[in-house]
């Protein structure tokens, strides 16, 4: 089993079991385009966690022109383990680079073999993956991604560790932690048509703030980030559109940017100043 110290994950839930699939290979008469899948992490806010590991066995993708909604193309079949906590604040890893038939793709399915949490006190919790290995985790690609023979297409898998690994216990009393439940939360973004937001969170005395929560909304929360020890956060793979952004943390009021316009392929800076409660 290979171990890759970068994040992973993306996917789509397969409703059929007991079926056999073969890894697709380009045919001489099939026009193809280059597809990359990258991974990043909406960070885990708990200092007591050293690693959040997940093993991926297979990735499938669906062409929207297929009449059967359960018809997927296998584009990756291997056993690779990622530590998701190493992909924070704008850091990504490339899960795969492959050729696929040209066309429009609207969803992915990821097969997860196993996962585990390593605490800073070196205790390890092996987690059961609900249906992930047998049926896969189904994820919609937003917006649909067009694969063309003339240029590269990219998908970003944003794995929300803070929502996917649910703590059973008290983070303030590590010895009371009884375990974690694994409920995968993954966002698949057409990275080719997405924007990026980064910035710094400080207090009214201009002191940088660590572990502050920053999130972006459009009716509902799109994704979340946490600042590092320099007060910096980064959010990747934001589809073009209009959003609101918020930042807060323990002991501080919530600050916001009410209107944030995100454009395809652009990177913008949004800083926050938090006032103590």
Residue 14 has what pLDDT?
29
- What is residue 164's DSSP assignment? H
Residues 205/224, Cβ–Cβ less than 8 Å: no
Q: Rounded to an integer, what distance in angstroms lies between the CA atom of residue 32 and that of residue 38?
A: 19
Q: What are phi and psi of 101, to 5 degrees?
A: -60, 145
Contacts of residue 230, defined as CB under 8 A and 6 or more positions apart, other chains included, come to 200, 208, 210
Residues 262/193, Cβ–Cβ less than 8 Å: no
Q: Rounded to an integer, what distance in angstroms lies between the CA atom of residue 112 and that of residue 128?
A: 10
Residue 1 has what pLDDT?
41
Residue 65 has what pLDDT?
84
pTM for the complete prediction? 0.77
Residue 103 has what pLDDT?
94
Residues 234/90, Cβ–Cβ less than 8 Å: yes
Residues of the chain with pLDDT under 50: 1-22
CA distances from 43 to 63, 118, 169, 224, 228 (A): 31, 15, 19, 8, 10
Q: Rounded to an integer, what distance in angstroms lies between the CA atom of residue 36 and that of residue 180?
A: 31
Residue 43 has what pLDDT?
61
Residue 75 has what pLDDT?
95
Q: Rounded to an integer, what distance in angstroms lies between the CA atom of residue 118 and that of residue 219?
A: 35
**Per-domain boundaries in the chain:** 2-194
Q: Rounded to an integer, what distance in angstroms lies between the CA atom of residue 192 and that of residue 215?
A: 22
| 3-class DSSP state of 43 | coil
Q: Rounded to an integer, what distance in angstroms lies between the CA atom of residue 86 and that of residue 234?
A: 14
Q: Is 265 exposed, middle or buried (0-12, 13-18, 19+ CB in 10 A)?
A: exposed
Residue 29 has what pLDDT?
61
């Amino acid at each position: 089993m290979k171990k890759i110290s970068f994040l992973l994950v993306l996917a789509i839930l397969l409703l059929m079991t007991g079926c056999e699939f073969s890894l697709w290979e380009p045919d001489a008469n099939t026009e193809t385009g280059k597809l990359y899948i990258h991974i990043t992490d909406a960070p885990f806010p708990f200092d007591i966690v050293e690693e959040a590991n997940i093993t991926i066995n297979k990735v499938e993708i669906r062409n929207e022109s297929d009449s059967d909604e359960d018809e997927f193309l296998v584009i990756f079949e291997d056993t690779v383990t990622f530590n998701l906590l190493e992909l924070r604040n704008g850091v990504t890893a490339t899960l795969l680079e492959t050729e696929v038939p040209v066309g429009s793709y609207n969803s992915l399915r990821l097969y997860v073999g196993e996962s585990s949490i390593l605490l800073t006190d070196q205790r390890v919790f092996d987690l059961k993956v609900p249906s992930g290995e047998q049926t896969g985790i189904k994820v919609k690609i937003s917006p649909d991604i067009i694969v063309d023979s003339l240029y590269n297409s990219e998908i970003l898998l944003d794995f929300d560790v803070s929502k996917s690994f649910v703590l059973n216990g008290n983070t303030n009393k590590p010895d009371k932690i009884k375990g974690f439940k694994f409920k995968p939360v993954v966002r698949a973004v057409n990275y080719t048509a997405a924007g990026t937001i980064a910035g710094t969170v400080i207090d009214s005395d201009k002191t940088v703030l660590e572990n502050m929560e920053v999130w972006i909304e459009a009716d509902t929360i799109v994704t979340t980030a946490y600042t590092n020890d320099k007060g910096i956060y980064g959010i990747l793979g934001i589809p073009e559109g209009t959003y609101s952004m918020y930042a807060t943390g323990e002991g501080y009021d919530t600050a916001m940017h009410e209107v944030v316009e995100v454009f395809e392929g652009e990177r913008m800076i949004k800083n926050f100043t938090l006032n103590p409660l």
